[in-house]
Structure 1
Amino acid sequence: MDSIRSSQITKAIQRISESVFVGLCREVGTPQMVAVKRDVMDISEMVGNHVKTSDEILEMVSGSYREGIKLKGSDIDTMYWLNNQRVIWDLSQSQYYNTHRKTLILCDCSESPPGFTLLYLLSPIKYILIQRVCVRMYNRYYVSSSKCRQASLSQSSSHYNLTPHGPCVSGTFGPLELDFAFCFVCDFWPPSASSWIDRCHSWPQPHVVDEIVKNGCHFVAMGHKLGNHEDHEWRISFSQAEEKLVYVMNHCQFLTYGLLKLILTEIINNGVGDDDKLLCSYHMKTAAFWVIQQNTISHWCPQNLLEGFWVCFKLILKWVYEGACPNFFIPGNNMFLSKIRGVKQHQLFIRLYELYEKGIAFLLYSPYIRSCIIDVLYNPRTSVCTDDHTLISEVEFDRDLFVEIQGHYAPPLKLGKQRCIRYLHTIAQMIGSLLLTHYQVLKLQNITAVVLQYTAFVLHMETCTSDNKLSYRANKMSCHMVKLAAKFGCITDILYIAMYYYKTLRYREALSIIEMMKFKLAQPYVMHGLNVDTEMYNEAVGGQSWSTKMRQAVAGIVKLNNDIHYISELIPEQQSALKNHWSLLHVPPFILLYMLEIFCYRQVDTIRAQSALDNLQTLVHYDQGQIITLLSRDISWQILGICQQLTGNLQAALYSYQQSLRQESFNRIQTATEMRIQSLPMDSLN
């Protein structure tokens, strides 16, 4: 009887595990969707960094966002470093560098705790910023981590409203929380982490270990709180290595890591003040790494997801009890040493032990997990399907896919003709030489459209004052580029053709494109951001290639690079955004379409111009978030005001500008709005 009861309990736990697995697939991501996020991020970053010169700044998105986990409240971590600087571990490694091109920095770990080091300069300092953050010790110039953090915060705060957060500066931009960390890069694996290589018997596989070691490490500006040189030490960062390890997890292991992050947010740190949040997501990741490598769970699958989670949770509980959390790569680096000790350590252990005593049932404290398993608890005969292809529909997957494809990428400001050519050359090389995934090909297609559009307008800007023959050739080439881009991109990329025609005074040709756009955007199957008619979409493009779907059924937000003047009437808005260090204007396609229609008809048919203005006004006043997203309301009200002012309706324009100021300032156009309000003749408003 006991064996039967034990078997029933085991089966019940397995079914609950499967239910949690399915729920986490929806919240964290199915295997396909996680692959999309990673592939899109990888190719975007590869293109962006490849075109940069040796004296520019490279950047890398790290953390859970890069790994494919996008839980609510997760931030986006970005590491950036100077491309012409390298850290070495010993002087013999200097032979691999041209010291005329690279500034070399040598590690000095002799007085630092495990996982930390001092950095001193071997080469002359080429950057004034680096000169300002150096201190003199032992007759050498060391780069001070605290001075680097202060300089980074000071420089970034002039761009954004940021605050210090560990080695990073942090800020909130719309719905996103961003962390920026200045760092140094090293092409060599740390000697203090050599034991990790010897420890990798079963996980990860040898070729993964080789790739990780080959990529070296980074150093972030954070000293050890109990070290001798806290203000000047740098912490060794294994962000690239961790990314590779998460990539080679199977999906059950990956979701276990996601579940640990979820319970950290919804249970362990719920209602706890920021100063008392002793455990962080990095501790959760470290626990997952140790458990996977120690081969504690023989087979990671949906049926034993909760078993894997429980082993990880018990390991964290053990660490808190002992006051020791060993870094995965350098075990001698106790990550609890300076934070989780004394009274706080005891209080945290009591809180975790109370959860431990409740068993796996404490997961019910998580609102999301409770919603995942409640049906299974009340309907024990309900079957649970864990096949990822059945978890989300084709339309749901496409919607998330195209949101990813249209995000993540914007070439830097100050684009010139030569930079654009470098982008196009880089894309051509990647298409011809890399084994790209389907998702990366699609993203590269999107990037190609963006770069062609930028190149077309940059070419026009640089040649519009040239002689007639050169200007004619450039105009012909630019026109060809915007048309070619429309064949690569989504429906709304056609609007760039209309903008180019308007810019070159071809109003009737622009209106012809606008009419075609109206027809395309009005189709009931078109996907507008997250809004889509599932039945119509399936009927129109279901089963077709993603390239076809993107060209025929996807309408994305229009992103105008603020360094390029597409429409002269929007120059004040772009200048306002640039002053606030904001690179793009995000404009809903219908808003841009009606604006262009108004501007063009003002030149050829004033009656139709008024009709287009009425349509724009109706859309801005009455849209319920279907067309105009929360983050694009400021620019939408602004454009309505511009059009009303141009047609002489100054009272309505004033109201629209005031409404623009009341919206969330995502596009950073407040300066332009205030300027336009001040320019209105007050006597005409009374």
Structure 2
Amino acid sequence: MFQEPDYRENLSLMLSEVLHDIGVNERTVMGRRRHFMLLETIWNIKNRLADTNLTYYSLGSNSEGTTTIGLQSDIDVLGYFSNFNIIQDWSEWEHGKDNFLMIQDENTTPGYCFLQRLRNDEPLPLTVIPDEHFILDRRGRILHQNTIIYNFLQGAQQRHGPAIASQGEPGVSDSDRVYALHCKSWPQSASGWLDRQGIGRWPTQEMRRYAASTGFFVVPTGSKVSEYPELEWRISTSLTERCLMINLNITQIRCYVLFKMILKSFLNPQDEINISSFMCKTVLLHCIENTESGIWKDNNLYTCLTYCLLELHSCVQNDCCSHFIIPENNLMAGQFTAETKHELSKNICDFIQNDRQRLLSIDIDDVGHRLQVKLNRVPHAINYFPSLIIYETVMTELYMNIATSISCQHMLF
């Protein structure tokens, strides 16, 4: 499928140039990553000085460098509480901590778990319900409800699933904050991923070793198809996913950014978020794993994008988008109705069949107009800002984020 006509190669090169011009290039991508890693450091210095047990991670598109000015991505933050210890084996129990045994059985949805409360003075199950945030199940286990974290947080009125949406201060982007609990070991349900080898020998062994050393999080939200949504906690391998994304090459990053623009512009009907950017990321990772690495080059960008769209269409048709690391977890389970499925399938097919017309209709960052200028070879038809100005604009916004964050943290002391 990769022996494409010349026009596809030319279109790929023009798309790559357009994406380079709007900031999807090595310099801007690395600038975004450095700044959000610095921001993460600032948050955690403040937490250590304040002697809190909270650690933050900057995740998502900004920390990966997989966004643009026009996509207007929020800052995604995950915070975990170090005084909680999630264990999969009794040998991981720690004295003095709030220990919870992770349970996955016939009652839990794949990719989710229950948390059983244990004693903190010896490795035994707790037998007395401590407060209203716990329940006693039919097997006599005291289980942790997933609503507890948000009951202790202030200003949590606006929630997007497990995330708290916060409007940023002047000069600071809006953020989505997720609070979670951490397990130091790798999830047993994902043990097969550490040995899985794709066609392109990606992810590398080094990435897998990093994954095994970071453990995972449990996020307080249940599956849409669960019988016990208030008791389930979602298994999150977000640090591993961040590692995978920052090891993509620039063509893979451009493909993902374009994928998200298409999603936002054409695929989700009636402005509903039926297909998430995380699903697009998952599809991309599967496609990278199942192709030779030499395919992912700028002169093949459009073919790679088409491959991703075809894979997404297959997922929608089969009502199944398998999590990249925990394949038993179907990200599309209970996600949309038969009518929505039909509309999504139609939209994807329509885009693929009318690819050039649809690409020229992308308004985000004026991608469509920019592409038209390049295809028509009229370089001065529209006086767009050069990529250097885009880079300086992005960096200015990020410096303002950092300066405002430092000021805000300083005021807390």
Give the TM-score normalised by structure 2.
Answer: 0.84
Q: Is the 8 A contact 1:28 1:255 kept in 2?
A: no
Q: Where does the alignment leave 5 or more consecutive residues of structure 1 unmatched?
A: 1-6, 383-390, 412-449, 451-557, 565-686
Matched, 1:272 2:270: yes
- Conserved 8 A contact 1:121-1:143: yes
Q: Percent same amino acid at aligned positions? A: 21
- Rate the CA distance shift 1:332–1:408 in 2: closer, same or farther, 3 A: same
Q: Name the structure 2 match of 1:35.
A: 30
Relative contact order higher in (CA < 8 Å, ≥ 6 apart): 2
* Letter of the structure 2 residue corresponding to residue 106 of structure 1: L
Offset of 1:341 from its aligned partner? 4.4
Count of residues in Structure 1 that have an aligned counterpart in Structure 2: 385
Equivalence map 1:390-539=2 (5 Å)? 392-393=387-388, 397=391, 400-401=394-395, 403-408=397-402
Change (3 A) 1:401 1:342: closer
| 2-structure distance, mates of 1:397, 1:410 | 20
Residue identity in the other structure for 1:22: E
The one-letter amino acid paired with 1:300 is W
Per the alignment, in what secondary structure is the counterpart of residue 77 of structure 2?
A: strand
Change (3 A) 1:563 1:296: closer
Instruction: Quote the residue 2:411 is aligned against.
Output: 562
Residue 83 of structure 1: CA displacement? 1.6
| Structure 2 counterparts to residues 206-605 of structure 1, below 5 A | 206-269=205-268, 272-274=270-272, 277-295=273-291, 298-367=294-363, 368-379=366-377, 392-393=387-388, 397=391, 400-401=394-395, 403-408=397-402, 561-563=410-412
Aligned to 1:615: none
Q: Distance in 2 between matches of 1:27 and 1:133?
A: 48
Alignment of 1:59-138 (within 5 A): 59-71=56-68, 72-94=71-93, 97=94, 99-100=95-96, 102-110=97-105, 111-124=107-120, 131-137=131-137, 138=139
Q: Cα distance, 1:246 vs. partner?
A: 0.4
Q: Is the 8 A contact 1:320 1:340 kept in 2?
A: no
Alignment of 1:165-176 (within 5 A): 165-173=160-168, 176=173
The code of the aligned residue for 1:375 comes to: V
Asked if the contact 1:323/1:341 (under 8 Å) is kept, the reply is no
The C-alpha deviation readout for 1:379-429, integer Å capped at 9, x for no partner, is 39x8xxxxxxxx734x76456445434533677xxxxxxxxxxxxxxxxxx
CA distance in 1, matches of 2:303, 2:80: 41
CA distance in 1, matches of 2:162, 2:397: 31
Aligned: 1:142 with 2:143? yes
Higher helix proportion (structure 1 or 2): 1
Instruction: Please give the secondary structure, in 2, of the residue aligned with 1:181.
Output: strand
SS at match of 2:37: helix
Question: Aligned AA for 2:186?
Answer: W
What is the Cα deviation at residue 559 of structure 1? 6.9
Change (3 A) 1:341 1:326: farther
Q: 2:143 is aligned with what amino acid?
A: Y
Indicate the larger mover: 51-60 or 299-308: 51-60
Q: Distance in 1 between matches of 2:243 and 2:166?
A: 27
Determine the C-alpha separation between the residues in 1 that align with 2:42 and 2:174. Answer: 24
Q: Structure 1 residues 121 and 409 mapped into 2: Cα distance closer, same or farther (>3 Å)?
A: farther
Pairwise CA distance, 1:65: 1.7
Change (3 A) 1:369 1:44: closer
Matching of residues 174-213 of structure 1 within 5 Å: 176-201=173-198, 202-213=201-212
For residues 25-61 of structure 1, the C-alpha deviation after alignment (integer angstroms, 9 at most, x for no partner) is 2334321121122122223323542562775211112
Which of these two proteins has the greater Rg computed from alpha carbons?
1
Change (3 A) 1:115 1:409: farther
1:366 and 1:118 mapped to 2: Cα distance?
Answer: 43
Change over 3 Å in CA distance of 1:303–1:82 after alignment to 2: same
Alignment CA distance shift 1:273-1:45 (3 Å): closer
1:483 is aligned to: none
Structure-1 separation of matches of 2:167 and 2:91: 44
Task: State the AA in 1 paired with 2:367.
Answer: I
* 1:164 aligned onto 2:163: no
1:396/1:177 CA distance change after superposition, 3 Å: closer
C-alpha distance in structure 1 between counterparts of 2:402 and 2:349, whole Å? 41
Task: Compute the TM-score of the two structures, normalised by the length of structure 1.
Answer: 0.52
Aligned to 1:218, the other structure's residue is in SS state strand
Pick closer, same or farther for the CA change 1:10–1:197 going to 2, 3 Å.
same
Contact 2:167 2:173 in 1 (8 A): yes
Which region of structure 1 is more displaced relative to structure 2, 313-322 or 397-406? 397-406
Whether the 8 Å CA contact 1:166–1:222 is kept in 2: the answer is yes
> In the alignment, is the contact (CA less than 8 A) between 1:19 and 1:376 conserved in 2?
yes
Distance across 2 between alignment mates of 1:73 and 1:187: 33
Q: Distance in 1 between matches of 2:394 and 2:109?
A: 44
Per-residue deviation, residues 278-310 of structure 1 (Å, max 9, x unmatched): 111011100110000111563311111111111
